[in-house]
């Protein structure tokens, strides 16, 4: 019986070394491994990171990439200093290969979910504190009632950390608010909330029928930390209108801010998502949409992401048919 290496034939007029012949034969039949290595390199940025993630040696990953390029007859990646960039051919292949590789990696889980009717599986959702506290509770309750066997994990993260989880496939999708949407991210807003001024009931602004932006200037604001989007948005509006303002306290968490305002320690601009009926009995609330933009909350995910049955079921609870939005089927460029 001939060995696999001897069964491969060289092109007429060319001498092929036995090592090259064996390598070509070995890697020829492993298109899935080649594509998996290629996708890992693109997602992680370097051969070494891809090799580490795949539990392979760097030379093995390099051989798989070379074999893929040779078989397709195209250069897929270009090395520039320490960065790896996709060629046009590489971009085209990545758009095709990524959902295939991700679908293959989750095949067992998705198969059991289909067969058992979502009686098994895991779902990871990234979200901020306000989203988890005010927007998700009813959705989580309904999801747990329908699919009690699914392991549901709510990752409480900032917007930046949530995007990192999506890009690293550590979360299926995120729910929250976005000011800027990167090219590789799809965002579908589903809920909209007005900006609200909250003050103690006995505050001078509480009895005013209409509150202007300049009316806020003499009073200290209680705002979330500067690294969060709410602070940056408030600062932008005051700057654009050339109205001075002062921050009395920076503190995280809408409940803490509301409590401090109720104690008379300052006033605040909050998103309407956090205002409850109980809050209106202890705080004066004014709508400030004349000056500040609405905040929209929705589903955030990486373009081209392959979603399992667990994720699709949750998103259908948020809004049926949301996944038919075309952006979810398009690929984008990761910001690295």
Q: What tokens appear for 264 in the block?
A: 């008379």
Lowest mean pLDDT, pick from 109-113, 279-283, 316-320: 109-113
Q: pLDDT, tens digit, for every residue of 191-232? A: 999 999 999 999 999 999 999 999 999 999 999 998 888 898
Confidence bin at 112 (pLDDT 50/70/90) = low
Q: pLDDT, tens digit, for every residue of 236-265? A: 999 999 999 999 999 988 999 999 999 999
Question: Is pLDDT above 60 for 331?
Answer: no
Lowest mean pLDDT, pick from 42-56, 136-150, 170-184: 42-56
At 220 the pLDDT is 96
Instruction: Give the burial class of 13: count Cβ atoms within 10 A of its Cβ; 0-12 exposed, 13-18 middle, 19 or more buried.
Output: exposed
The rounded distance, in Å, linking the Cα atoms of 334 and 44 is 10
Say if residues 336 and 229 touch (Cβ distance below 8 Å): no
Question: Is pLDDT above 80 for 5?
Answer: no
Q: pLDDT, tens digit, for every residue of 10-48? A: 444 444 454 554 444 444 458 888 888 888 888 888 888
Between these two residues, 114 and 1, which has the higher pLDDT value?
Answer: 114
Average pLDDT, rounded, for the chain: 83
> Stretch 99-125: mean pLDDT, rounded?
69
Q: What is the dihedral of CA 208, 213, 218, 222, to 10 degrees?
A: 100
At 328 the pLDDT is 42
Q: Which of 58-88 are b and which e, b meaning 16 or more Cβ less than 10 Å from the residue's Cβ?
A: eeebbbbbebbbeeeeeebbeeeeeebebee
At 111 the pLDDT is 65
pTM more than 0.85: no
The rounded distance, in Å, linking the Cα atoms of 42 and 44 is 6
Say if residues 118 and 151 touch (Cβ distance below 8 Å): no
Instruction: Give the burial class of 135: count Cβ atoms within 10 A of its Cβ; 0-12 exposed, 13-18 middle, 19 or more buried.
Output: buried
Say if residues 283 and 200 touch (Cβ distance below 8 Å): yes
Confidence bin at 269 (pLDDT 50/70/90) = very high
Question: Is pLDDT above 80 for 106?
Answer: no
At 121 the pLDDT is 79
Q: Which residue has the tokens 């104690």?
A: 263
At 113 the pLDDT is 56
- Please tell me the total number of residues recorded for the chain in this structure: 336
pLDDT > 90: percent of the chain:
44
List residues bridging with 112 in a β-sheet. Answer: none
């Amino acid at each position: 019986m001939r060995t696999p290496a001897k069964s491969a034939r060289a092109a007429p007029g060319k001498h092929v070394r036995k090592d090259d012949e064996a390598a070509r034969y070995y890697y020829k039949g492993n298109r899935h491994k080649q594509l998996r290595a290629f996708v890992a390199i693109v997602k992680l940025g370097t051969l070494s990171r891809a090799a580490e993630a795949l539990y392979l040696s760097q030379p093995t990953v390099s051989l798989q990439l070379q074999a893929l390029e040779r078989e397709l007859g195209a250069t897929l990646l270009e090395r520039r200093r320490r960065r790896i960039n996709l060629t046009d051919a590489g971009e085209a292949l990545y758009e095709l290969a990524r959902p295939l590789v991700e679908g293959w990696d989750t095949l067992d889980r998705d198969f059991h979910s289909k067969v058992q009717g979502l009686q098994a599986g895991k779902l990871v959702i990234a979200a901020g504190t306000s989203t988890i506290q005010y927007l998700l509770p009813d959705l989580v309750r309904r999801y747990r009632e329908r699919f009690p066997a699914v392991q549901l994990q709510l990752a409480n993260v900032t917007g930046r950390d949530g995007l990192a989880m999506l890009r690293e496939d550590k979360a299926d999708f995120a729910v929250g608010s976005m000011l800027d949407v990167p090219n590789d991210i799809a965002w579908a807003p589903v809920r909209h909330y007005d900006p609200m001024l909250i003050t103690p009931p006995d505050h001078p602004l509480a009895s005013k029928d209409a509150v202007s932006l300049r009316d806020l200037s003499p009073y200290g604001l209680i705002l979330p930390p500067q690294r969060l989007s709410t602070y940056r948005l408030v600062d932008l509006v005051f700057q654009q209108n050339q109205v001075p303002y002062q921050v009395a306290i920076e503190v995280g968490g809408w409940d803490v801010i509301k409590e401090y305002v109720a104690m008379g320690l300052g006033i605040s601009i909050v998103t309407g998502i956090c205002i409850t009926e109980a809050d209106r009995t202890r705080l004066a609330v004014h709508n400030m949409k004349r000056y500040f933009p609405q905040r929209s909350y929705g589903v955030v995910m990486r373009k081209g992401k392959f979603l399992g049955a667990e994720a699709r079921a949750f998103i259908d609870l948020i809004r049926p048919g949301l996944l038919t939005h075309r952006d979810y089927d398009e690929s984008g460029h990761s910001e690295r």
